[in-house]
A = this chain, B = another copy of it.
Amino acid sequence: MELSARNQLSGTVKQVKVGTVMAEVVVDVSGQEVVAAITRSSVERLGLKQGDNVKVVIKATEVMIGK
């Protein structure tokens, strides 16, 4: 399946922190950190752990610009 969300950055999982409902996944993208707050059940379904090669996916309407 190809996704309409064009922002798909390659990276490596640095850290996974898990709460009751939510989880925080820190990804290294070309030396810059990207943090994702996703559900704990998605972390478990994907089996996300440190060192995984992943894509960081972001819908264009969610991206802001600072100048």
Do A63 and B46 have beta carbons less than 8 Å apart? no
A50 to chain B, nearest CB (A): 13
Do B36 and A64 have beta carbons less than 8 Å apart? yes
Interface residue SS majority, chain A: strand
In the complex formed, the residue of B with least CB distance to A27 is B65
CA distance A67 to B27 in the complex (A): 12
Do B6 and A67 have beta carbons less than 8 Å apart? no
A24 to chain B, nearest CB (A): 5
CA distance A63 to B34 in the complex (A): 8
**Chain A residues packing against B (C-beta within 8 Å):** 1-10, 17-25, 27, 29-39, 41-43, 45-48, 52-67
